[in-house]
Amino acid sequence: MRGQGIWLRGISGFGMAFLYLPIIVLVVFSFNASRLSATWQGFSWHWYGVLWHDEALLAAAANSLWVAALSTSLVVLLGVPAAMGLERLRGRGRQALDTIFLLPLVLPEVMMGVALLLFFVMIQWPLSLATVVVGHAAFNLPVVIVMVRARLQKLDPRLEEAASDLGASAWQTFYRVTWPLVRPAVLGAALLAFTVSLDDFIVTFFVAGPGATTLPLRVYSMIKSGLSPEINALSSVLVLASMGLVGLSFVFQRR
């Protein structure tokens, strides 16, 4: 096995470098003073200042945060009970429902986007930020269900039984026994759903109405209309934000 060490380590190192170099390069060059973004001309915070004064961008960021907050609240309210309900079912019904609930996870995103677009047009619901919220809640629901169920499956069923044996009502059992135990998983799932919503481009691209610009839509149009180091700065902020959110989510799930 030791003979494999060198080339295994080589390929693994290469794989990691491949994953990280582009991100690192992006962040480093966001501090570049030059307008010609690929030659280094000295350290500067300039492009972060530009970001901070870009009104359209800030409006898009505000939209993104609203959409993420609303769609996350929705999927938590729908997903936590659904996860608990699925755990109570047995047999074929559960299998069938599993498949239905997990469907959005395996559908190609483009398919999800066009399906929702067609649907909204057919029921004549004008495209807006509201349709974006609904779309995000549609693909994030399985995220919450999967993560909360993973936690529920690890719980000792005797805890809930003991609570009801001691005379707790169904609601009391949930509120005083089940909820404290699943809360970390729910928080973790909510943070992931929030991150996914914040990052989503494709579904948003299809179901956002005119004027309903989210941050990824704004980044996309910035990239399409010509590069500037401002995009590097924005990208660095987004990288940092997703890492922070995912890090927090891990912390909650560990508990």
Partner 1 sequence: MNPWSSSKETEAGLDSRFRGWRLLGPGLLWTTVFCLLPMAVVLAVSLATRGTYGGVLWEFSLDNYRDLLHPLYGRIFGQSLLLAGVTTGICLALGFPLAYYIARLPPRRQALWLIFIMIPFWTNFLVRTYAWIFILRTEGLLNTVLMQLHLISTPLDLLYSNQAVLLGLVYGYLPFMVLPLYAAIERIDPALIEAAWDLYADRWSLFRRVLIPLTKPGIIAGCVLVFIPSLGAYLTPDLLGGARSMMIGNLIQHEYLVARDWPLGSALSILLMLIVMSSLLWYFTAQVPQTRERGEQ
Residues 36-55 binding partner 1 (CB under 8 A) are 36-39
| Contacting residue, 159, 169, 175, 176, with partner 1 by CB under 8 A | 169
Q: Which is nearer to partner 1, 25 or 159 (CB)?
A: 25
Per CB under 8 A, contacts with partner 1 among 127-166 are 134-135, 137-138, 141, 145, 164-165
HEC-encoded secondary structure of 36-85:
CCCCCCCECCHHHHHHHCCHHHHHHHHHHHHHHHHHHHHHHHHHHHHHHH
Measured over the CA atoms of residue 68, residue 73, residue 76 and residue 77, the dihedral's sign is negative
Residue 52 CB, nearest approach to partner 1 (Å): 18
* Whole-angstrom distance, CA of residue 18 vs CA of residue 12: 10
| Contacting residue, 8, 17, 62, 159, with partner 1 by CB under 8 A | 8
- Is residue 204 near partner 1 by the rule CB under 8 A? no
Q: Which residues of 220-230 are buried (b: 16+ CB within 10 A; e: fewer)?
A: eebeeeeeebb
| Contacting residue, 85, 95, 176, 179, with partner 1 by CB under 8 A | 85
Query: Please, are residues 215 and 198 in contact by the beta-carbon 8 Å criterion?
Result: yes
Per CB under 8 A, contacts with partner 1 among 213-252 are 216, 219-220, 223, 227, 231-232, 235, 238-239, 242-243, 246, 250
